[in-house]
Structure 1
Amino acid sequence: MAGASTERALGKGDLTRRRILDAAAAEIARHGPAGAGLGAIAEAAGLRTGSLYFHFPSKQHLISAVLEEGIRASLQRLDAAMAAPQRATPAERLRAGITAHLRALAELSDYAVVVLAPQFAALHREVPGFRALRREYLRRWAELVAAAQDDGTLPAGPDPAEVRDLLLGALNAAGLAGQPPARTAEVVAALLRLPS
Structure 2
Amino acid sequence: MSSPPPANAPSKGDRTRRRLLDAAAAEIARRGPDGTSLAAVARRAELKAGSVYFHFDSRDHLIEAVLEEGVRESLRILDDAVSALAAPSAAPERLRAAVRAHLRAIEELSDYAMVVLAPPFHTAGDRMPVYRDALRTYLARWTELISDAQDAGVLPGGTDPRSLRDLVLGGLNASGLAGRPVADTARAMESLLGLDDG
Same topology, TM > 0.5: yes
Structure 2, unaligned runs of 5 or more: 1-7
**Partner Cα distance (2:57, 2:133) in 1:** 22
Gaps of 5+ in 1: 1-7
- Identity of matched residues, %: 57
C-alpha distance in structure 1 between counterparts of 2:193 and 2:113, whole Å: 24
Q: Assess if the C-alpha contact under 8 Å between 2:85 and 2:94 holds in 1.
A: no
Q: In structure 2, what is the equivalent of residue 182 of structure 1?
A: 183
Distance across 2 between alignment mates of 1:52 and 1:119: 23
Structure 1: distance between partners of 2:124 and 2:95: 30
Give distance in 1, aligned partners of 2:173 and 2:133: 20
Aligned to 2:195: 194
- Whether the aligned pair in 2 keeps the contact of 1:91 and 1:195 (CA below 8 Å) is no
Shift of 1:195: 4.0
1:72 lines up with 2:72 in the alignment: yes
Partner of 1:4: none
In the alignment, does 2:12 pair up with 1:12?
A: yes
Structure 2 counterpart of 1:98: 99
**What TM-score, normalized to structure 1?**
0.91
> Within 1, Cα distance between the matches of 2:61 and 2:21?
11
Matched, 1:45 2:35: no
Give the structure with the larger helix fraction: 1
**1:62 counterpart = 2:62:** yes
Asked if structure 2 preserves the Cα contact closer than 8 Å seen for 1:145 and 1:163, the reply is yes
Q: Which residue pairs with 1:114 in the alignment?
A: 115
* 1:145/1:164 contact within 8 Å kept: yes
Pairwise CA distance, 1:156: 1.5
Residue 127 of structure 2 corresponds to which residue in structure 1? 126
Return the alpha-carbon distance in structure 1 between the equivalents of residues 9 and 182 of structure 2: 28
Could you tell me how far 1:122 is from its partner in structure 2?
4.4
| 2:63 alignment partner AA | I
Instruction: Quote how far apart the aligned CAs of 1:124 are.
Output: 4.2
Q: Which moved more, 1:167-176 or 1:80-89?
A: 80-89
Q: Hey, what's the Cα distance between the residues in 2 that align with 1:54 and 1:18? A: 13
Instruction: Provide the secondary structure at the position in 1 that maps to 2:32.
Output: helix
Could you tell me how far apart the structure 2 residues matched to 1:122 and 1:94 are? 27
State the number of aligned residues: 189
Superposition TM-score, scaled by structure 2 size: 0.90
* Alignment CA distance shift 1:9-1:186 (3 Å): farther
* CA RMSD in angstroms, aligned pairs only: 1.4
> Which whole-Å CA distance do the structure 2 matches of 1:52 and 1:163 have between them?
40
Matching residue of 2:164:
163
